[in-house]
Structure 1
Amino acid sequence: MTTVPPTAARLLESAPLMAHLATSVDGRPHVAPVWYRYADETVAVVTTGRKLANIRRNPRVALSVQQDEAGQTEWMVTLLGTAEVVDDADETAAARRRINEKYHADPDAHADNTLVRIDIGSATYRTY
């Protein structure tokens, strides 16, 4: 695990922005938007479908988050890491509630999703 620079951590903890999660399928990238929550140098997402299947086969992932204003980038953070599928119903429910709270969604939204925890290996960021 690496240390995420404090400025990048504050950016990741800020507004409820869409992240783009990159996984790999058959040696090709698969990128999809996700809601996320960053805390304690770990990223949590709850997901299902292709992303989850890809992670089960290959846990190496990337996550990109960017803040824009009127089409102009203000900052971006890219994280590379290793994902772990958490098959614990209580832990998944708690993570889902925290993520849904961040995005001002119904606490029970996405009840069929599975928790994926990403341990960060490297982080880069830039402000503009």
Structure 2
Amino acid sequence: MASVPDEAEDLLTSEPLVAHLATCRDGRPHAAPLWYLYRDGLIEIATTGEKLENIRHNPAVALSIQKAEDGDPQWGMTVRGTADVIKSESERITQRLNEKYGAEEDAWQENTGVRIEIGSVDYWTY
């Protein structure tokens, strides 16, 4: 697991932002927006559908996160890592995501938890 620089950790935990998760299956890339949590040097997400199936077949993933104000970019980050489906913790991960993003407590319960071990982080500020 890669060490995440303190400044990047501060950006990852600063506020609820949407990340774009990139997965790949059969040589075809797929990117989709989702909520994320950064905890203890890992990224947690909860997902379903094509993203989840892609992770099951190829755990190599990337997340792109950007903070902008009125369309003016403030900072951006790319996180690359290896995803692991954590079905047994889906409910806890979903609850933490719902709390962070202000969703109803029982929203998104059909999603499956995924933990991403961070391999590398590139970030920049403008």
TM-score (norm 1): 0.96
Aligned pairs, number: 126
CA distance in 2, matches of 1:107, 1:7: 30
CA distance in 1, matches of 2:27, 2:41: 27
Task: Please report how far the alpha carbon of residue 96 of structure 1 lies from its aligned counterpart in structure 2 after TM superposition.
Answer: 0.7
Give every structure 1 segment of 4 or more consecutive aligned residues whose post-TM-superposition deviation is greater than 6 Å.
none
Equivalent AA in structure 2 for residue 61 of structure 1: V
Q: Does residue 39 of structure 2 align to residue 33 of structure 1? A: no
Aligned to 1:98: 96
Equivalent AA in structure 2 for residue 98 of structure 1: R
CA RMSD of aligned residues (A): 0.7
Task: Please report how far the alpha carbon of residue 15 of structure 1 lies from its aligned counterpart in structure 2 after TM superposition.
Answer: 1.1
SS at structure 1 position matched to 2:16: coil
Matches within 5 A, 1:62-73: 62-73=62-73
Task: Please report how far the alpha carbon of residue 111 of structure 1 lies from its aligned counterpart in structure 2 after TM superposition.
Answer: 0.6
Task: Please report how far the alpha carbon of residue 25 of structure 1 lies from its aligned counterpart in structure 2 after TM superposition.
Answer: 1.8
Aligned to 2:54: 54
Aligned to 1:110: 108
TM-score (norm 2): 0.98
SS at structure 1 position matched to 2:53: helix
CA distance in 2, matches of 1:83, 1:41: 13
CA distance in 2, matches of 1:121, 1:64: 14
Equivalent AA in structure 1 for residue 64 of structure 2: S
Task: Please report how far the alpha carbon of residue 45 of structure 1 lies from its aligned counterpart in structure 2 after TM superposition.
Answer: 0.3
Structure 1 unaligned regions, length at least 5:
none
Task: Please report how far the alpha carbon of residue 125 of structure 1 lies from its aligned counterpart in structure 2 after TM superposition.
Answer: 0.4
CA displacement 1:55-105 (0-9 Å, x = unmatched):
0000000001100011111001110000000121xx211111111111011
Equivalent AA in structure 1 for residue 60 of structure 2: R
CA distance in 1, matches of 2:63, 2:40: 16
